[in-house]
Structure formats: structure tokens, C-alpha cells
Structure 1
């Protein structure tokens, strides 16, 4: 009964900690949808996939979101047509590469400033490498969820003027009957293509945003925020429940006994980072509690890998990618983090 009470407390604390950042990310996503010119954003991304991955990794300085809030923003980047390397670089690095997290890490490890610097450097390096690797996947249909794949298929960037595709007067007259639910199909695309009603409605909303008054824009932001919160909130609750259960069942004494070895300590902290699912804004203080028993490389493994991949984050990533793609992200991030932190353990610190 005591374990159940502890587990429920941890579950609630994870939710209370994560929901504000998820909301922040959803709000950023909505603002990107309705206030940012998609074509301008895509045009400013470097064409070189390596540079695009690096720019995406550094974008967290402008979008300071946590590992709960980065997923809806990254999903919106993909749906806007941004390069895959750019979106994945942002997805993996944004929870760490932002002023709030860097400041929190400095407060916790001000006696070890190398931890702060190496956390930023390794996060940028790993996110850029993984983003570049995924840039070789030109067709996103095999790795993204079917709903996103359909959206990308029917919303390819067009070089022609918007007015040639759909005049504002036509858009204003185009309405969605209330009896038509998501999943309803119409012959509304080019050459008689079959299109989902929500795709047509989204296109109409985006196309007319520039001419709408501020009050209508805010209403669209609220509607999109509610929709994304419904989609992402469910997987956040499930991931938090799993993380809380594992925290209760894993003995702390066993974890501490593995902290001395250069290899076992890194492996232990990688697993710990994945299962405890602590927000990146406070995870440095959690890692600080292990500083006397664990190697510096293993502390970095926790601080770098945790914000990229944890249980609740995996659940949220499944709203964008198929399980196979999430597994590849998980495996690449774990391998690269282990390699770099092992080098640090053996040769530098």
C-alpha cells in the first residue's frame, strides 16, 4: 500500500511538472501554424542537411521548450515542410539547448562548470548527427504516422501563387458541415484526389489567416491548442504512469552499487534517465544527488540522454513517428551518448 501511494505521488508530480511545458509547446505549435509564414520559415532553413540539423538543434534558444513541449513544435515543423534533419535536430536538442535549462544546470553544477559546457556540446553534437542521419530518408511516409503522411501528401509546397490555387472568396464560402466527422472523405483535391475533411479545413484556415482579424486568429489558436492537447495529453499520462511504476520498483541501493565503474555507471544512468522521466529544467538537481557516487561521464549521460529520450517522451514521439523510427532514434541517441561519455570517463575527467 505504501508503494502504491509513493507511485501515485510520483505519477502526479511528473504530470504537474510536465503539463505546463506541454501546454507551452502546444501554444508555440499553434502560433507557428497561424502566425508564422510557413514558406518563409522553410526558405530560411539551410539546404545542406548537416547545417539544417545544426540550426534546428540550436533553435531551442528561441523556443525554450521542455521534452514535453518540443514534440508538438517539431511535429508542426515537419507538417510545414521543414527538412527532416532540421525537425529532428530541434526535437532532440531543444529540451537541453535553451537558456532556462542551461541556467538550471549552472546553478546545480557551478562547482563543476565542465559539466555545464559538456552537456551543451554533447547535446548539440548528438542531435546534429542523428538529424543528419535521418536526412537520408527522403520519403517520410514509412517513418511518420499515417495522419501526418496524408497531410504531407496533400499539402505539398506549391510554387504557384495561393490566389491561383484557391481564391479568398472561395475559401470564405467553403465551410465544413457539422454532421461531417473526421475521417470523412471528399473529392476536393487536384485531379480528383480524395482528401480528408480536416485537411481541407486546415488548408482553408491557414490560407485565410493573413486576412483574418486578431480575434479570429486567437480563436483558431485556441481550437488548435485544444486539439493537440487531447492528442498528446493521453500519451503523456500513460508514459508518466509507466515511469512512476518503474521508479517505485527499482531499488535505489542497486543503482548506487553500479555507479563506480566507467562502463556500468554510464549504462545505469542511461537506463535511469529513460525511466525516471524528469523534466530537463530540474533533472540537473536530481543528477547532483548522485554526484558523489557516480562518474562525471555517467552524470553527463543522464543529463544528455534523458531530455532526448524518456518514457513519456517516447509516448509523445509516437504521435509523430512510427514505432520503428522511434526505436532508431532511441538506439542512435543511446549509442552516441554512451560512446562520448565513455571517452570522457576514460580520457578527460
Structure 2
């Protein structure tokens, strides 16, 4: 009898909160640490660079990850602040329940958050977890890195004397975000969208620290995967394949849109890259700037890790199609 009582009183092994389980290092933490390893390795190795393709791969990988990390950190800080300090009721009241009204408002709200596409993913994830309609959160996810003041000023500097190109970028990007939000409201399925925000009973600063750690480690790991993908594509795909098609009307728009996906340039810097592509038409360069902040290699990886692969592939393919169409129509109208 005593033995039976002892067995019943003994906690189940899965329920024991061992320190070892808490301190286990996951693959995402290792991937984030890989960024530091590459940076330190390049400093230690000095002049030794290895094969040319390996040097190019490392340069692109480090550039993608390093330029995105500050903005990713901005995004996760804002995401953690939303989780810890913003009541769910406030978010619900801020947006109308009707998607036809909520989506345009959320898209326009992207103007107030300077940051790149990496910052918008954890914020959108947290907004959905806090009760914001997915269609509105996704419209914000797309508009925030594309129509904020920093991006528009950078575009104006890169294309001096061409205010019509700045206006075209704003209009085409905002239209893409709103259309994608409305499409999700009409055709999106809940099982495609699975935010991986852990539930927690903590509040205040404890909740802020916990959310910050989770979001950064989670999103940072997939940022590294995206950086590796972008670097591999940059090395594997010949650049002449794109430049040879620059003079073909209509085709050049699709070519630069695909190039934006492969290069994965941060939205604050892509205007300067587009300005250097002088062999392409203004509409093609507009497509490069509209598609890049919404669909690129690292962003697809971030969305897959945050919302699931079923969502990422469907949403990225649809966004690419809508963004190219919006850029082509806006370019035909304004440029």
C-alpha cells in the first residue's frame, strides 16, 4: 500500500521542471550564434579568403544578416512591448471589425513604423496573437517596410529629381498591402496561419523580457536561414542571366522582380541598388522596389518560421503576383 502511494505521489517525468530542460540550446540559438562565428572568423582569418565563390557567399550572407539584425531587434522590442503593456481591448477598439475598413487603416498605419521587412514579421505575429484580425495584421506587415518615411526619403535621395518615382513606389506598395489584406479576408483559411507565440501568465517587465527573448531567438534563427538562402542564390544564379533581358519590354519588370527576391536587400537600401540598374526601365526598377520589401528569400524564411510553411508559400506567391501587377500598372500610369 505504501509503495502504491509513493508511486502515485511521484511526479511524472515529463512534468518535472528540470534546469537541464530549461537550459537546452536549440537549433535556432545555434543559428543566431552562427552570425557571430562568421564575423569573428573573418576577422581572425585576415587576408585568407578561400575560393572566390566562398568569399562572395560569405560577403552576401554577412551583409544580409548584419543589415537586417538592427531592424529585427527593433521589431521584436516593439512586439514584446505590445505583448507586455498593450491591452488586447485597446487593439480591438483601434481597428474596425469590418475588414473593408480595417485593412486600409492597418495598411496606412505602416507609415508610422520606420523599419525593414524583418521588423514587421514579429510585430504582425504579436498583433494577431493579441486579437487583431489577421487580414489587418498582414496588411500592416506588408506596408510597414515599404511606405514608411525612412524608405520614402531614401528613395527620394537615390532618385533625385524624380518625385514621380517616389509617389509611384508609395502608391504601388500601399495598394499591394491593401489588396493582399482584402484577399486574405476573403480567401484566407485559419489553418494556413499558425502564429507560434507561446502563452504566458507573466505580466509587465517579466512578460516583456520573456517575449523579447522568444521572438528574437525564434526570428533570428530564420533570418540566418534566409541569409544563407539569399547568399546561395546570389552565387548560384549568374547575374548575366538577368542583365541580358534588360532591353525586353515587359520582361524586364519580371526580371527585376525576381532579382529583388534573390538579392534580399533591406528596404532602406534597395532604392540605391535600383538606381544603379540604369539599363532597366523605370517601371522595372519600380517593381524591384515594390517586390523586395514584401517578398524576398530571408522574408519567406521568416514567415515560414513564424506562421508556418503552408502560409509562407501561398502568401509569398500571391504577394509577388499582386506586387508585380501593381508596379506595372502604376509605372504605366505615372512613369
| TM > 0.5 | yes
1:228 and 1:322 map into 2 onto residues whose CA distance is: 15
Tell me what 1:120 maps to. Answer: 170
Tell me what 2:288 maps to. Answer: 302
**1:128-161 alpha-carbon deviations (Å, 9 max, x no partner):** 0110111135762x1123746xxxxxxxxxxxxx
2:68 corresponds to 1:18: yes
Which residue among 261, 265, 287 is the counterpart of 1:278? 265
Equivalent pairs counted in the alignment come to 285
Describe how 1:144-183 pairs up with structure 2 within 5 A: 144-145=193-194, 147=196
1:306 and 1:327 map into 2 onto residues whose CA distance is: 16
2:193 and 2:329 map into 1 onto residues whose CA distance is: 34
1:279 and 1:139 map into 2 onto residues whose CA distance is: 30
Q: Is the 8 A contact 2:259 2:288 kept in 1?
A: yes
Tell me what 1:325 maps to. Answer: 311
Question: Could you tell me how far 1:102 is from its partner in structure 2?
Answer: 1.0
Report which of the two has the higher share of helix: 2
Question: Could you tell me how far 1:30 is from its partner in structure 2?
Answer: 0.5
**1:22-74 alpha-carbon deviations (Å, 9 max, x no partner):** 00000000011112122111111022212211111122222222111100000
1:139 and 1:315 map into 2 onto residues whose CA distance is: 20
1:289 and 1:137 map into 2 onto residues whose CA distance is: 38
Question: 4+ runs of 1 displaced by more than 6 Å?
Answer: none
Question: Could you tell me how far 1:238 is from its partner in structure 2?
Answer: 0.8
Tell me what 1:288 maps to. Answer: 275
2:266 and 2:136 map into 1 onto residues whose CA distance is: 23
Instruction: Give the secondary structure class of the aligned counterpart of 1:318.
Output: helix
Tell me what 2:120 maps to. Answer: 70
Q: Which runs of 5+ in 2 are unaligned?
A: 1-50
1:70 and 1:242 map into 2 onto residues whose CA distance is: 20
Q: Is the 8 A contact 1:144 1:322 kept in 2?
A: yes
1:31 and 1:147 map into 2 onto residues whose CA distance is: 17
Question: Could you tell me how far 1:312 is from its partner in structure 2?
Answer: 0.5
Tell me what 1:240 maps to. Answer: 227
* Alpha-carbon RMSD: 1.8
Q: Which runs of 5+ in 1 are unaligned?
A: 149-197, 210-216
Pick which of 271-280 and 313-322 moved more.
313-322
Question: Could you tell me how far 1:316 is from its partner in structure 2?
Answer: 0.7
Q: Is the 8 A contact 2:152 2:166 kept in 1?
A: yes
1:11 and 1:263 map into 2 onto residues whose CA distance is: 31
CA shift in 2, pair 1:146/1:107, >3 Å? closer
Instruction: Give the secondary structure class of the aligned counterpart of 2:118.
Output: coil
